[in-house]
Amino acid sequence: MDLQNKVAIVTGSSRGIGKAIAIAFATAGAKVVVAARSESPGRVPGTIHETVQIIREAGGEALAIPCNIADESHIESLVATTKQTFGQVDVLVNNAGVSVATPLINTETRHWDLLMRVNLRGAFLSCKYVLPHMIQRQSGSIINITAGNPEMSATPSQSVGVSIAYSATKYGLNALTVGLAEEVRRHGIAVNGLNPGIIKSEGAIAVAPEDPKEAAAYWNSSHPSLPEVVCESALFLATQTAETFSGRLVSREDYGIGWP
């Protein structure tokens, strides 16, 4: 799973799953663009500059680009800067996402709209602006960090941060993944969805209950893993083509099962 001479954009890579994937890709030899809104420390730990520093201190090459995934001008600039700096885009990881943990009846309309803009529209925009470069090179891999599978239940689980609004965006992302894979197959581009399972990321920790007993029940009910568990699957998908593996929605827990 060598990514030498490859250029990867990883959205939402200031912390959590995105950060782990960015570091793993750099370790595998890729030049990594670390894209997220977090430029300075805030309520939730992690910044794009900290991720880049880790990569550079390990001998890798990375570029931090501030980016609001819901802003089309930001996405256009992100891809243009990547192309100008590194000359190509080989891998896109659509990882940036937000969630709310409220029942539908209590979900504010502005929160519903935010989830749609970030989780679904953001992935659409990233694909829209990256694909012309991949099509020109007749190669590339797009990985959408999603949840569930095409038959996933409309009833959300009681896992960390999962709601009907969040599930709706992931339904849409799954459809985008499978449909886009067919649309760009003739160009040699792989498009796959990766379900990481429940991850104990900085964001999940930030919304956990403060009471120790409630927090223990909160985590025990969801059986979380650390972000690094997704890296092997992400590396595998990053090296695929339309001919080898595309249009699939896979779980990192199933890694090694059914792979070609």
Q: For position 219, which CATH number holds?
A: 3.40.50.720
* 157 band by pLDDT with thresholds 50, 70 and 90: very low
The pLDDT of residue 259 = 40
Interval 37-60 mean pLDDT? 88
Greater pLDDT, 257 or 51: 51
Is residue 1 a part of any domain in this protein?
Answer: no
pTM of model > 0.85:
yes
Is residue 119 a part of any domain in this protein?
Answer: yes
Cα 8 to Cα 195: distance, rounded to the nearest angstrom: 19
Interval 122-130 mean pLDDT? 98
Cα 135 to Cα 90: distance, rounded to the nearest angstrom: 10
Name which of 148, 171, 158 is nearest 102 in CA terms: 158
Asked if 10 and 55 touch (Cβ cutoff 8 Å), the reply is no
How many folded domains does the chain comprise?
1
pLDDT tens for each residue of 181-234: 999 999 999 999 999 877 666 666 655 556 677 666 666 656 667 788 899 999
Name which of 146, 194, 199 is nearest 171 in CA terms: 146
The pLDDT of residue 24 = 97
Q: What is the mean pLDDT of the chain?
A: 86
The pLDDT of residue 156 = 44
Residues tagged active-site: 166
* 251 band by pLDDT with thresholds 50, 70 and 90: confident
The pLDDT of residue 166 = 87
Interval 143-158 mean pLDDT? 60
Query: Is the pLDDT reported for residue 253 higher than 80?
Result: no
Is residue 169 a part of any domain in this protein?
Answer: yes
**H helix intervals, the chain:** 16-27, 48-57, 72-86, 109-115, 122-137, 164-183, 202-206, 212-220, 231-238
Is residue 134 a part of any domain in this protein?
Answer: yes
Is residue 240 a part of any domain in this protein?
Answer: yes
Is residue 259 a part of any domain in this protein?
Answer: no
Q: Which of 60-64, 139-143, 155-159 has the lowest mean pLDDT?
A: 155-159
Greater pLDDT, 133 or 200: 133
Domain that holds residue 126: 7-254
Query: Is the pLDDT reported for residue 178 higher than 70?
Result: yes
